[in-house]
Amino acid sequence: MGAKGEETRARLIAGTRELIEQQGYSGTGLNQVLAVTGAPRGSLYFHFPGGKDQLVAAALLQAGQEVADLLTGLAADGADAAALSRHLTEVFAERLARSDYTKGCPIATVALEVAGTNEPLRAVCAEVYDGWQRILADQLTAGGFRPAEAAVAAGQALALMEGAVLLASVRRSREPLDDARHAVLHLLGAKAPGRR
């Protein structure tokens, strides 16, 4: 595929990401994607022969990878799990504030909508969340947690943050994310090795 083809594919994914995060899966049609991106219909089906689901999956995986790369980079720079959680909560809060509370977590809008109705996209969302949880768990393990405890604590931390994104969106306030940040730090501190 040439540079022009790669550029068109990237535009399709970027446009889809923007739309699904604001409007959800059902609220986003392929005609909207084409209008936003300026891509020809033939290019859409050339790059995504599986249609809308394949395009949405690519958008979700890309968004999920960006968050994973952010967390991995912070971990490589020495951030522990608490610092990763603080940073991720702040990223979500800033995204919500900049978008007038329409965009927080780049996965959550679609995940909530498709979990019970679209198995392939549910699996993609689960894959993304599992990856984030593993990064947090790895940092907890590096900090002295047993692997099983690290996995549970990381899952609880992620659930607190994701739930806070939903509450912040509905309440149009970052307060639930601030509360979640404190709760995650308390959770990770309470479960730290040597503390019971």
In a domain, 109, yes or no: yes
The pLDDT of residue 193 is 60
| Predicted local distance difference test score (pLDDT) of residue 4 | 81
Instruction: Please compute the mean of the pLDDT values over residues 104-130 and round it to a whole number.
Output: 96
What lies within 8 Å, CB to CB, of 7 at 6+ separation is: none
**Residue 155 domain flag:** yes
Which residue from 4, 1, 48 is spatially nearest to 16, judged by alpha carbons? 48
Average pLDDT, the chain: 93
Tell me which of 1 and 27 has the higher pLDDT: 27
Q: In this model, does residue 135 exceed pLDDT 50?
A: yes
Residues making up the chain, counted from first to last = 196
Tens-digit pLDDT profile for residues 80-93: 999 999 999 999 99
Dist CA 125 CA 191 (whole Å): 27
| 104 is a domain residue | yes
How far is C-alpha 30 from the chain's CA centre?
A: 22
Residue 30, in any domain of the structure? no
Q: What is the pLDDT of residue 62?
A: 97
**184: CATH:** 1.10.357.10
- Does residue 26 lie in a domain region? no
Task: Determine the structural domain holding residue 108 and report its residue range.
Answer: 59-190
pLDDT at 32 over 90: yes
Arithmetic mean of pLDDT, 151-169: 96
Reported as a single tens digit per residue, the pLDDT across 183-193 is 999 988 855 56
- Confidence class of residue 95 from pLDDT cuts 50, 70 and 90? very high
Mean pLDDT of 89-105: 94
Count up the domains in the chain and report the number: 1
Tell me, yes or no, whether 18 lies in a domain.
no
pLDDT of residue 195: 44
In a domain, 28, yes or no: no
Average pLDDT of the segment spanning 97-113? 93
Tell whether 170 is covered by a domain: yes
pTM greater than 0.85 (yes/no): yes
pLDDT at 196: 41
The residue-averaged pLDDT of 145-169 equals 96
Instruction: Output the CA torsion 105→63→54→47 (10° steps).
Output: 150
State the average pLDDT over residues 162-178.
96
